[in-house]
Amino acid sequence: MTHSLSGRAALITGASQGLGLSIARAYVQAGASVMLCARDADLLGRARDEVAALAGSGQRVAAMRADVSAPEEVAALVSAALEALGGLQVLVNNAGVYGPMGSIDEVDWSEWTRAMDININGSVLPLRAVLPHFKQQGYGKIVQLSGGGATNPLPRITAYAASKAAIVRLAESVALEVKEHRIDVNSIAPGALNTRMMDQLLAAGSDAVGEAFYARMRRMAAGGATPLEVGAALAVYLGSAASDGITGRLLSAPWDPWETLHDHKDDLEATDIYTLRRILPKDRGKAWGER
């Protein structure tokens, strides 16, 4: 399915390669104007040229180098996006890193905390910066990229796992804060992707990430990975009017029937479907666990 983003403007972080670049392509092809952001200026320039070649009449494609974990750079980025695009309706928080791989008592602590800074603050800061504008216009879409670390333990990749769980609960919490302003905040689990981050994981080796996880990622890299376009399509859906009112959810791009989620808004509103929640003994058919 396709969803129109015509007339909408989006800021996309981590957009110079991988999933972020795929999302940028999909947004422009759906009719949006975009501001691309990344730390590598050379890669970002090439990405901007590639995405701009897809733009139609009236669409704008801009790019600005920024570190999303630096408050002053994020403030300048959002200001530049508002000026270059004439406004903003969508923020896609895609920038992120795996961080160090290995036993938590042995990995470099500065690398561990830096990964947390990029993955958590690098999502919070852009979100904080766009919210005043979204509130003023009474509408907005925040699309947060998460991952398998949010719902499954990832031993030996602890900074990534902890930060991905944190930003999903952040998205759930902010969704309730801003619901009255017609601002939707959702998270995407895009599936295992064959990107630069997969290359980093495989380069670290089985000693760093564990034999079972390493073997599974090798199988994914050999042909079992989720196509980037699947996560990009979900990002388009969550940035479009079709998903208005769907908020505070964590959606799996390859596994959930998100294409028709708007048909089930009442069920979502009344339940905790697609959210992070604690599992009780009764949820697993056990009779114990209640006081």
Residues annotated as part of the active site: 160
Q: How many whole angstroms separate alpha carbon 188 and alpha carbon 164?
A: 11
Tell me the backbone φ, ψ of residue 278, rounded to 5 degrees: -80, 140
Q: How many whole angstroms separate alpha carbon 110 and alpha carbon 113?
A: 5
Tokens of 167: 């930003």
Tell me the backbone φ, ψ of residue 183, rounded to 5 degrees: -110, 120
Using a 10 angstrom Cβ sphere, with 0-12 exposed, 13-18 middle and 19 or more buried, the burial of residue 181 is middle
Tracing tokens 């110079």 back to the chain, one arrives at 16
Q: How many whole angstroms separate alpha carbon 26 and alpha carbon 47?
A: 13
